[in-house]
Chain A
Amino acid sequence: MRKAVSFLAVAVAMLCMAGSGVAGDTIKVGFVDTYTGPATTFTNDVLDGFKMAAEKINAKGGVLGRKITYVTRDDKFKPDIGLTMAKELILNENVDLLVGTINSATALAVSDLCRKEKVPFLVTFSKSDKITGEKGNRYVFGMNENTEMAGRAAAKALAKRKFVKYWIAGDDYEYGHAIANGVFRHLKTLNPKVQLLGESWWKVGETDFTPYITQILAAKPDFVIVATGGGGMVNFQKAAQSTGFNRKVPFYQHAAIDLSTLMPQGKNAPEGVYGTANYLFYYPDTKENKAFVEEFRKTYDRHPKSGALYGYMTAQFIAKSFEKAGKVDREKFIDAMEGMTLPSPVGPMEMRACDHQVTLPMFFGVTKKSPKYDFLIAGDIVPVPGKDTMPSCAEIAKARAK
C-alpha cells in the first residue's frame, strides 16, 4: 500500500512537471480545436500550415531568440470540452496565447474566457461574425473570413445578375442561418427587386437531399442560396449532380469552389455551381502564391486548402507581432498585432485595429472542369478585396455597444 501511494505521488509529480513546461525559453502556442470527427479535414490543414511556418521561423533562429512551440487539445467539436481544454492550456500549460477553433460556439466561449484571463486568442476557421463583431473584445482576433464577409461578397456578385425569385435552403444551425441571411439581406439592399420564395432547413449531417431538391424544384425559383457547411457541402453537391439540380436551377454555396468540397468528388462534381472561397491554390497566379503552394506540397505532399492559409498566416502574425512588441508580453503583443500588415500568398493582409479582423480577400467563382486537374476548379473568378466585404468600424462599434 505504501509503495502504491509513493508510486502515485511520483506519477502525479511527474505529470505536474510535464504539464508546466519549461517556460521562458519558448513562445508557447496552445491549440484548442476539433481533431476527431468530420471537422478534422479542415483543422488538420490549419495545424499543418502553422507547423510549416513555425518550423521555418525556428530554423532562422526563432522570435526574440525563442523557438515557437505548440501543444494541441482536442475539443471533440463540443463547446464545453473546448472551454475546459482552453482553461487547462492557460493554467497548466502556461501557453502565451491560444489558437483555434472550428466550432463557432466554442470560439465564442473561449473568447469570453480569454477576455477574463487576458490571454490573446487567434480564431482560425470559426465563421460566426459575432466573434469579431458584437462579441468581439481586446483579446480575440479573427484570422479568417466570417459569415458577414461571405454574405457581402456573394451578394455583391449576385446583385449584378438578373435572378429575382430566390429560395433559401441550408443546415439548420447558426452557421447555416447566418450565411443564408447574410447573403440575402445584403442582396436585398443592393437589389430591392429580389424576393424570397421560400425556405427549407434540414438537420446538420443530413445525407439525403433528394427530397428537399424535388420540393425546391417544384417551387420553380430563379436561384437558390444553399447554406451548408462541412460535409454537407459535398453531400449537397452529390445530390445536385444526381438529380440534375444544378442544370435546372443555378445555386450558390459558400465554399462550393473550395478544394475540400471539390477534390473528394473528382471529375463528378456538379458544374456551374456559384461559390465563394477564401483560398484557391491555383489563384491568384502570383509568385507568392506559387511559392506557398510549392512549399506546402513539398512538406505534406498535397494541395493546401483554406485552412493551410489560416494556419500559415497565424504563425506569421504571431512571430511578427512578438518581434514588434520586443518582448514576450501578452498586452504588448496585442498592441503590436493591431494594424499589423503582412504579405501573404493572396496579397497583403491587415489586422484591422478596430475589430481585430484580418482583411482577407474572397474569391467568387463558378465550378467547372479543368484539363489540368482530376477534380473541378473555379472559373470566372472575381476577387473581392477584404475591405469591400468587412463591416465598417462604425458598424462594429454600434454592434458592440448593444
Chain B
Amino acid sequence: MDFASNLFSAGTLSQILVGLSRTTILFIVSSGMSLILGVLRIPNVAHGSLYMIGAFAAWSVIQFLGGGLFAFLAAMLVAPLIVAAVGFVLERGFFSYLYEREHLMLLLLTFAFMLILGDLVKIVWGPEYRSVTVPAFFQGSAEIFGLPLPWYNLFLLVVGPCIAVLLWLVINRTNLGKIARAAAVDGEMVGAVGVNVGWVFAFTFVLGSFLAGLGGALIAPMVNISLGMDHSLIMETFLIVIIGGLGNMWGALLGSLIFGLSQSLGILVWPQFGIAFPYLAVVAVLVVRPRGLLRSTW
C-alpha cells in the first residue's frame, strides 16, 4: 500500500470533514472542562460522568416526547440543563468546601463523584444499552466524491463554531465572564471589591457542566449510550486540555482539532494504527511545549 497516495485521494476531504465533526463534540466537552480548570482550578474527573448523564438524559427526553425533530431539539436544551443542575449541586454542595484545601483533595473528591455518578446512572437508567435515533430531518448522508458524510455530522460542523463563538462572547463580552476571569487570577481581590466570588464560581461550574451535558446530548444519536462512556471520554478530554494549555478556551479548540484530525487522517495513512495517532500527536506537542500549546492559566 502506498501511504502517500492515500493522503491525496478523494477520501481525504471527507475524512477531514468527519474528523472535524468529531472535533466538535470533543471541543464542546473539553471547553467545559477547561473553563472549570481555569476559573475554579478543579481537575474535574467527574466531567465525563456529566457528559454521560447528558446522553442518558437526552434519551429520556426524546423517549418522553415520542421522538421527532422537536423532541430532539428539546433534548438538546433540556438534557444539558439537567446536567447543569447536577453540576450546581456538586459545586455548591461539595466542591466549594475544598477550595482552600490542597488540589489533591479536590481531585480525590471528583474521582469519588465519577464513581458515584456512574452508579447513579446505573440505578436511574439501568444497565441496558440505549440508543437515540437521528431525527428524520438529519437522516441519510451527503455524498462527497462518492463517499458518504452523514448529514448529522454536517450539522455538528455547524453547531461547533456557533458554540465556540457563544462561549467567546460569554467570557469576553459579558460582565460575568470578566468577573470570572478576574476571579481566576485573584479571587481574593475580586471578593474585596464586593463581588460574591462563590456565585461566580457556581456559575462557572454550572456553565462547564452544561457544556459537558450538551456534548453528551449531541453525541447521543451517533453512539450507543451505555454505562462506561464516561471513561472513554475523560482520558481524551484531559489530554486535549493538557496539550491546549490548562484553562485556555482556544487551547481546548486547538487540542480538539489536533485530536480529532490526527485520528481521522491517521486512519488514511495507516489503518491498523489509526488509534495511535492522536496519542503520538499528544507526545509530539508535549515534547515541544510541555506546558501546552497556548498560555496556561495555571
Residue numbers of A with Cβ under 8 A of B are 36-38, 40-41, 44, 172, 198-203, 205-208, 210-215, 217-218, 230-235, 238-239, 242-245, 248, 260, 263-266, 268
Contacts and interface: CB of A to CB of B under 8 A. Distances in A.
A61 B250 CA distance: 69
A165 to B, nearest CB: 14
B150 A210 contact: yes
22 contacts: A36-B118, A37-B231, A38-B127, A44-B127, A200-B267, A203-B275, A205-B229, A207-B224, A208-B223, A211-B22, A212-B267, A213-B148, A214-B15, A214-B147, A215-B271, A217-B148, A231-B224, A234-B224, A239-B222, A242-B222, A243-B148, A244-B148
Contacts of A268: 131, 133-134
Given A203-B275, A215-B15, A264-B128, A198 B224 contact: no
Contacts of A172: 275
B31 interface: no
B143 to A, nearest CB: 9
A166 to B, nearest CB: 14
A238 B222 contact: yes
Given A212-B274, A243-B141, 15 more contacts: A38-B127, A40-B122, A200-B271, A200-B274, A207-B229, A210-B21, A210-B153, A212-B271, A214-B148, A218-B9, A218-B10, A231-B129, A242-B141, A248-B148, A265-B133
Contacts of B134: 242, 268
B291 interface: no
Interface in B141-185: 141, 147-150, 152-153
Nearest to A233: B224
Given A36-B118, A215-B15, A266 B223 contact: no
A208 B139 CA distance: 16
B268 A215 contact: yes
B239 interface: no
A234 B221 CA distance: 11
A198 B1 CA distance: 9
A207 B223 contact: yes
Interface string B191-229: 000000000000000000000000000010111111111
A215 B267 contact: yes
Nearest to B16: A211
A172 B14 CA distance: 24
Contacts of A234: 129, 131, 223-224, 226
B34 interface: no
Interface in B224-276: 224-229, 231-232, 263-264, 267-268, 271-275
A238 B223 contact: yes
Nearest to B67: A266
B62 to A, nearest CB: 11
B186 interface: no
B237 to A, nearest CB: 13
Contacts of B275: 172, 201-203, 206
Contacts of A264: 128-131, 224-225
Given A210-B150, A215-B11, A242-B141, A201 B226 contact: no
Interface in B1-29: 1, 9-11, 14-15, 18-19, 21-22
Nearest to A167: B271
Contacts of B224: 207, 231-235, 238, 264
B140 interface: yes
Contacts of A265: 131, 133
Nearest to B11: A218
> Which among B118, B153, B219, B272 has the highest number of chain A CB atoms within 10 Å?
B272
Nearest to A205: B232
> Which among A212, A230, A248 has the highest number of chain B CB atoms within 10 Å?
A212
B85 to A, nearest CB: 25
Contacts of B228: 37-38, 205, 231
Contacts of B263: 211
Closest 3 CB pairs of A and B: A40-B127, A234-B224, A211-B264
Given A214-B18, A218-B11, A243-B148, A207 B222 contact: yes
Nearest to B10: A218
A211 B148 contact: no
Contacts of B188: none
B11 A37 contact: no
A229 B241 CA distance: 30
B122 A238 contact: no
Contacts of B272: 199-201
A235 B267 CA distance: 18
A263 to B, nearest CB: 8
Contacts of B127: 38, 40-41, 44
A42 to B, nearest CB: 9
B223 A36 contact: no
Nearest to B219: A207
A266 B227 contact: no
B91 to A, nearest CB: 25
Contacts of A210: 18, 21-22, 149-150, 153
